Structure 1
């Protein structure tokens, strides 16, 4: 501590103090950005997220980027607007100084004047009580809005009122221009003046109610506060105690903001005031209006300098310093006394004590020397510079250069080893201080450039350089075995977290995380947005700060250590980090803040104030365009919403199928960081890639119903919970419409039905004609068939008669034949002719002239033969087993002649005179065409020489049977077995 006092004493001797004010994140909009006029008298945010501004050139609506202004041409009765108020029904009320009260419905202005009960020209204050009743402070009294109109409030005198507010407890407060303040609760009215209370002035300029129901009172000469019935003056900073107060607002940190007419802003945290003026970032100290939006930004209306926004209070900057231009803070450190030390690339040296920054006019090193880093030790402050290393202690300054053994004059960083020795990262390698000289530590890699050096919690010395990562072991610089094979280059920064994990910044490669012996390279694949990492710093809250070429990142280390995921938050200009680029190893954490040395100066980060913007952007569809051109939907005959100008229930013909959508997400914190994704349901199912583009075009849409869906993301990554939707239809051409198709189907069905009916009638008519023709032809065929049958019957009858004549001739001839053998031949011949005659007799006596029933035919043949040979069926019984088979005439004649021969032989030779026996005829059907005919008897059988005679030469009868068998594609066999058995195998056509 004695050393630190000595250093401080040395610096005081060498310096002249030059202060630098804190600068806040304040953005401005003036005429150049579209603001219609530079005087902003009132500010109010509506439920859609738009900011309404009262200017001397009309009422302007602001979406964070563009201004839309309403003037007398749009129905505004006066440009002298004094106050704005949005009630619980989302109606915007406009109070003027010379035209009374107006209500804006989004399209037009409705005046409230004498006809509505307002007998005043100037309306300077508007409020709403807990019952939803509207109250006005006017130049001739206080009015309330009832169903029947405005009514003057009789409990207060007719005075010139300047402000009015209602508390949640039911109190009404009204301030006057020169008669103090009134409080009304129920039937009791209390009057406060400068004479009977601590009210600073009888001219009340502003009233506001805090969340704790305190009433803040602004006057022309200071600030007061009222709690219940007690009113007390609030002491402002000395030089501001009698300032004229113009407006109030409360932010999301429970701070009260007070606007002063000529002296800037005051922020009151309940204990002390912070004064913000032009030196702190305001463009002017003339404040006219204040308001806080839903995202927590404080909006500031000024007199003559437009609109300003105070955002991201967690960053405070020190950029502007007298006698210094573009101070590039390259080194930052805090000694044990709490003093903050700064160094720049031009050799400037500064210290900060109690938020007061002092630049030293005399430096120990030559002008232009770059200060790379500081190392505070109990004995001294070491400064690593481009001109060696400097030790500042006890009114003495010691300079070490190459003459003292430094391998290079560029000394980037220093650390104290476990042995108390000083280790340096230099342009020529790693050096260690031994006594009063430095020694270069040898390296197996040869000459290397060491950019950074760190002693970890285990006492190990790590160095990062142009050839990778090294560790000091046994007096030399070696590459650790666990990191071999990584081939890292340009390692510029090293840090260690509270878990003992080391992080190395490898420029254009990523971040190497070393957990024990496990090395993990974090790149874009793990979520690192930029691999151009310059510096890393682990703070006590377990965050890893990463400085890149574009911004600074804050990543949560637990997720990185456990999951390897680089979950981070990015800080850049729009999010409050205005330092542009962090210098190498110029990050430091103190008890209250994290400090960054940047290319623009010094930036302080207050983690306790850092809050994410959880308010998603308010999405609005601004335009629906045909063919990407401005479209007047009213002129085209479409119904449209008068508030938005968008067509309602849009149904377009199929020829107008090219639509474009313009949209916007209102995010007042960072409108330029709003991201979108969208899709057209009915055309595509997938969402578009996330984009900052605020329009979408769809061409050649097919007929159908579509819904455009839009999602928005704010600057901190919060998406709208539900998509904005807009539904429209492309009407198909007439030939594709449902009703037309229905009518067409009905017509087609009717046509088909008519054709069918005509066809049916034609078919019925044709069928009738065909039936007549068929009946006629049928009758002709029947007649022809009858004639044919008669003719056939006649033919068969004649044939039968002719055969009878032949039989008669044979009988006559037989009478003159005496030779017994000749008579026998004649008898056989007669029986054969008789069998054929029987067949023709059956044909002409029956209706079926094509088929003969064999059973009946065989019976008639047998009866004729029995009669011819004089054999009775009592002596030789006839057994007939013939199925019901009908055959054609040719086959019947052939079978009849065969049966005739076989039966004749049986009757002649099988039995002796008077002998009894059995004659059997059997016909068996094997399939559709094959048959077997068996004629058998139980007589004396075939003679012994039958088969011998058959070989030498057959009788005529047997020859006839053999010939007839071949005609039937068959053959006959004779068997002598207890009689004679003749079996004929033959085929009949199917």
Structure 2
């Protein structure tokens, strides 16, 4: 931070005077010195708990997490219990100082104080003086000064007291007390303030005057640790998994004693950075994963010793959400899910995940400023990393030596980097680095010549967002005004834009990718395109609101080809898309599928063929179709403008204002949390009022511990939490209530559940949390619930009531049956009398009905006769009318023939006779008689003509007349006369009519009309 601050101020000073050359020189000198202290620091992200969460004090002397997930702390004002929802406070009677706090066995909590030993009783929810119910002679040891408790995972434990006294407490057996002065006269008359039990049963004792002793339980001998030149009090003792004894002193640094080789190393805060601790007051020790030792200091923060590198790294107080809250670390406590809790003097609890899989090169070493834009990273063929530095140029970082080379724009020098805002980079086949900037043009750096090349288009381009290698060793440069394709000689061979390439969706090029078929996928701000290797447009894709198999958005940021040759496309604000070549469609991958970030700036495929996405919320991994998100709590910040990069060694790199960070993808496999869910409170609202029950009494789920709900309760509320405090806000919960519904129901992130009006009976409530794999954790919380019935809901009462009701129904039925019999006899007599009267009335009505029916029959016969006469009249009238028409037409025909004959004889009046013949022919075609014919015909044969039209819609009016005459059985000769045509024409008309009616061969019109119901 010191160098970083100097760099920021000097940079501003030089910029104000436009002294770019001096700025470059200063930066190079600065980085010469900074790389001397080159180090890669593991990343720890801290979360915090303090008085704002309800704790009694920000000074946390001891902190532990028990096996149920509860956090216990020792403060100056007593014990605090935190369950993720609230803090419960416990005062210890007559105590002034709490020295130690430990979890013993499965769920035992022990507290060492100046007034003896206390233990937590869950039944009464309070701390009481420890009483092992042994003989009276040993009870006094639990009421004296107790300074330390051993880290034993069994029910048995060691405690250290004053004046050399220490004791071994065995559950339900005899206690053993020892005095170090009696065992060895050389033991000083001092307090045993630290005690640690080896895995082999050996016991190490640390004293208040700075000595360390070893006690052998089998031989009952106690011996000092020789060579420990120390007069400061011992704060903590730890024997690690490498069989090394660590001793923390109050002012004289840290000791490491190898129990195998009997070698001693003394670490003090006067060595070079990384070779020792940074503060000599060491307050607590903790062994984490991979044999790393966490060292709590008073003022130096957390020191971390890595045995593999034999180096120390330091984590000090840092402002912000994820920094260490205080530099004075009083204690460490082991948590679930690889968590470590650190109690501080002024900052409450800072807790973090002990994965340290992400390593960091500080921004000071890289010369990064405070610009929060993420970096673009390119690994060249010599394994150097080229890293963009926001608005401050470019860095070349040697991962082996830590050396940094700086490239910034000197406005007076045309042969250096043009433009300080670098947007894109690519290495060509000659090992040259192509560098695209926002406003400084296109740069090509020759690593062999160690200089930037001069070419015609160097300064002409702007907003170069992407550079990609294309076929034939060409370089495709994507800008805000289309694509420019360069060859190896730095000549432009093609320009691709909406004017030269018909079909290209937009000129604002945001991403380019060369696939396995040498086709170029081009992403723009307005859609996705595919071009040939020669720049010819092939096709494009865009978003459609009516097609869920289209792109989710048109603003494309990243493209990459998956292991199965499907193409992954990242968008700005609309998540990820997977293009299937076989189905020729897109699958949208977003929040519903588990992807948290909506802005996908980069897509990587690691060596295990997992897909990594650089998003606005961090990194997301797709493995076996399961998405897992990694964010700031894993040491991975959001990506703003930049993206992660995959090295040839398989590391994933990313950079920004926090420096350069990296990790191995496989190192994150072990960090899948499996949260333990536990109840925090039960609240029952009843008629008498509400009551709250401590869930601790139900942890064993014994029959006597069943939660009982009294009759008439109105509400039952359950509160719960998760043991994974690091992801507490993002934990999703599910529940099922056996006895009501055996299906799991989602509660999202809600940590409370309320029931009402449950029917009497037995239930079991299950609460589970979902881990990062998307599966429900098997470590669920459950509680047996018994809803008691009311007085009338009890089975005995209900049985008696059923019996009473049954008897009442029985007697009621018997009484009713007797009344029915009496009434039946009475009714029989009345019925007999009424029957005779009814029979008389029936006979009289029958006779009247017969007379009425006869009258109606006579009326019906008269009506039928009248209708028959009317029909005959109409038929006769129709026939007569038709015959008159026939007779008239015959006369007209005869007259016409006479006039024709006279016309032939009398040539002088031939024209006169011709006119008369034409008028006669016109008279034969007049339809007046036919209208009268139809009027009478429809009265006789109603419905014939409409039905015939429906049967054969194509019939002409003349054909309908023909059908009517046939229906009236007129002979063909008379029909010919009526139509004024020859008999042969009638035959032809009848033949055509048969075809239109689709009549079968040989059938008559009469049969056809009858078959059709006409």
Aligned counterparts of 1:502 and 1:684: Cα–Cα separation in 2: 43
Q: 1:333 aligns with which of 378, 393, 403?
A: 378
Paired residues of 2:84 and 2:725 also in contact (CA < 8 A):
yes
User: Which residue, out of 289, 308, 312, partners 1:252?
Assistant: 289
User: 1:410 touches 1:427 (CA, 8 Å); kept in 2?
Assistant: yes
Q: 2:356 corresponds to which residue?
A: 313
Match of 2:265 in 1: 233
Which of 463, 475, 479 aligns to 1:422? It is 475
Task: Please list, as runs of the form range in 1=range in 2, the aligned pairs for 1:54-133 lying within 5 A after superposition.
Answer: 54-64=74-84, 66-71=86-91, 75-96=92-113, 98-106=114-122, 107-111=125-129, 116-118=139-141, 121-127=144-150, 133=156
Once residues 24 and 567 of structure 2 are traced to their aligned partners in structure 1, the CA distance between those partners, rounded to angstroms, is 36
Write out per-residue CA displacement over residues 211-255 of structure 1, whole angstroms, 9 at most, x where no aligned residue: 355433333332222425835226578253683332222223332
Question: 1:630 & 1:420 partners in 2: Cα distance?
Answer: 85
SS at 1:672's partner residue? helix
Q: Is the 8 A contact 1:250 1:292 kept in 2?
A: no
Which residue of structure 1 lines up, in the alignment, with residue 134 of structure 2?
none
1:440 — aligned with what? 495
Shift of 1:569: 0.7
The structure that is helix-richer by fraction is: 2
Find the residue that maps to 2:792 and give its secondary structure: helix
What per-residue deviation string (whole Å, max 9, x for no partner) do you get for residues 433-484 of structure 1? 2444434134222562221223446655443224544455363242259999
What residue is the counterpart of 2:340 in the other structure? Answer: 298
Structure 1 residue 730 displacement after superposition? 4.0
SS in 1 for 2:74: strand
Give the TM-score normalised by structure 1: 0.65
Go from structure 1 to structure 2 and tell me whether the alpha carbon gap of 1:25 and 1:449 turns closer, same or farther (over 3 Å shift): same
What are the Cα deviations for residues 264-316 of structure 1, in whole angstroms up to 9, with x where unaligned?
A: 33333322223122278433332221223221112222222221112253334
Within the candidate set 529, 543, 546, 2:613 is matched to: 546
Equivalent in 135, 139, 162 of residue 139 of structure 1: 162
The residue matched to 2:472 in structure 1 has which SS?
A: coil
| Secondary structure at the counterpart of residue 670 of structure 1 | helix
**Which residue, out of 714, 720, 729, partners 1:672?**
729
CA contact (8 A) 2:328 2:344 kept: yes
CA distance in 2, matches of 1:443, 1:655: 78
The 2-side partners of 1:686 and 1:493 are apart by 41
**Given the alignment of the two structures, is residue 269 of structure 1 paired with residue 306 of structure 2, yes or no?**
yes
Structure 1, 699-708 or 166-175: larger mean CA deviation = 699-708
Instruction: Evaluate the alpha carbon distance shift between residue 306 and residue 721 of structure 1 in structure 2; reply closer, same or farther with a 3 A threshold.
Output: same
Q: Find the aligned partners of 2:626 and 2:201 in 1 and give their Cα distance.
A: 48
Q: Which of 463, 480, 491 lines up with 1:410 in the alignment?
A: 463
- Contact 1:624–1:631 (8 Å) recurs in 2: no
Q: Specify the SS of the correspondent of 1:17.
A: helix
Per the TM alignment, residue 734 of structure 1 is displaced from its structure 2 partner at its CA by 3.2
Partner of 1:609, secondary structure, is helix
Aligned to 1:523, what secondary structure does the other structure show?
strand
Q: Distance in 1 between matches of 2:434 and 2:26?
A: 19
Residue matched to 2:678 = 620
CA contact (8 A) 1:351 1:358 kept: yes
Structure 1 position 288 matched with structure 2 position 321? no
Aligned to 2:738: 681
CA distance in 2, matches of 1:308, 1:641: 26
Deviation at 1:570? Answer: 0.9
CA distance in 1, matches of 2:594, 2:696: 46
Residue 593 (structure 1) aligned with residue 654 (structure 2) = no
Matched with 1:167 is 198
Write the distance in 2 (CA, Å) between the matches of 1:265 and 1:30.
18
Q: Using a 3 Å threshold, how does the CA distance of structure 1 residues 628 and 552 change in structure 2: closer, same or farther?
A: farther
Range with bigger deviation, 390-399 or 37-46? 390-399
Aligned partners of 1:466, 1:692: CA distance in 2, in Å? 36
Residues 120 and 126, structure 2, Cα contact 8 Å, conserved in 1 = yes
- CA gap of 1:608–1:749, structure 2 versus 1, over 3 A, is closer
CA distance in 1, matches of 2:694, 2:634: 45
* 2:726 counterpart SS class: coil
Alignment of 1:568-647 (within 5 A): 568-573=627-632, 575-589=633-647, 591=649, 593-597=651-655, 602-627=660-685, 632-633=690-691
Counterparts of 1:629 and 1:448, CA distance in 2: 73
Deviations 1:463-522 (A, max 9, x none): 322454445536324225999996773332122456765433244555454677765523
2:223 is equivalent to residue 204 of structure 1: no
In structure 2, relative to structure 1, the CA distance for the partners of 1:131 and 1:514 (3 Å cut) is: closer
Instruction: Say which is worse superposed, 103-112 or 727-736, in terms of deviation.
Output: 727-736
CA shift at 1:603, angstroms?
4.2
Q: What TM-score do the two structures reach when normalised by structure 2?
A: 0.64
Q: Distance in 2 between matches of 1:137 and 1:277?
A: 32
Deviation of 1:693 (Å): 0.7
In structure 1, which of residues 17, 25, 47 is the aligned counterpart of residue 67 of structure 2?
Answer: 47
Q: Deviations over 1:907-953 (max 9, x none)?
A: xxxxxxxxxxxxxxxxxxxxxxxxxxxxxxxxxxxxxxxxxxxxxxx
Q: Residue 152 of structure 1 corresponds to which residue in structure 2?
A: 178
Alpha-carbon spacing, 1:626–1:554, altered in 2? closer, same or farther (3 Å): same
Which residue of 2 is the match for residue 971 of structure 1? none
Structure 1 unaligned residues grouped into runs of 5+: 1-9, 560-565, 767-990
Between 131-140 and 597-606, the greater mean CA deviation after superposition? 597-606
Q: For 1:611 and 1:630, how far apart are their aligned partners in 2?
A: 53
CA distance in 1, matches of 2:330, 2:78: 16
SS in 1 for 2:799: helix
- In the TM superposition, what is the alpha-carbon distance from 1:16 to its structure 2 partner? 4.7
2:211 maps to which of 180, 189, 201: 180
CA contact (8 A) 1:389 1:399 kept: no
Matched, 1:708 2:753: no
Q: How far is the alpha carbon of 1:546 from its aligned partner?
A: 1.5
| Shift in Å, 1:108 | 2.2
The C-alpha deviation readout for 1:103-152, integer Å capped at 9, x for no partner, is 22232222259972328854232116698542112221222225466633
For structure 2, the 5+ residue unaligned runs are 1-22, 132-136, 412-416, 544-548, 823-1014
Cα distance in structure 1, aligned partners of 2:64 and 2:177 = 25
Structure 2 CA distance for aligned equivalents of residues 676 and 410 of structure 1: 47
Confirm whether residue 278 of structure 1 aligns to residue 316 of structure 2.
yes
Measured after TM superposition, the shift of residue 93 of structure 1 is 1.2
CA distance in structure 1 between the aligned counterparts of 2:778 and 2:535, rounded to whole angstroms: 59
> Match for 2:593 among 519, 527, 543?
527
Structure 2: how far apart are the matches of 1:221 and 1:518? 67
**1:424 positional shift:** 0.7
**1:335: Cα distance to partner?**
2.9
Taking the aligned partners of 1:215 and 1:359, their CA distance within structure 2 comes to 43
Instruction: Report the structure, 1 or 2, having the larger strand content.
Output: 1
CA distance in 1, matches of 2:788, 2:127: 38
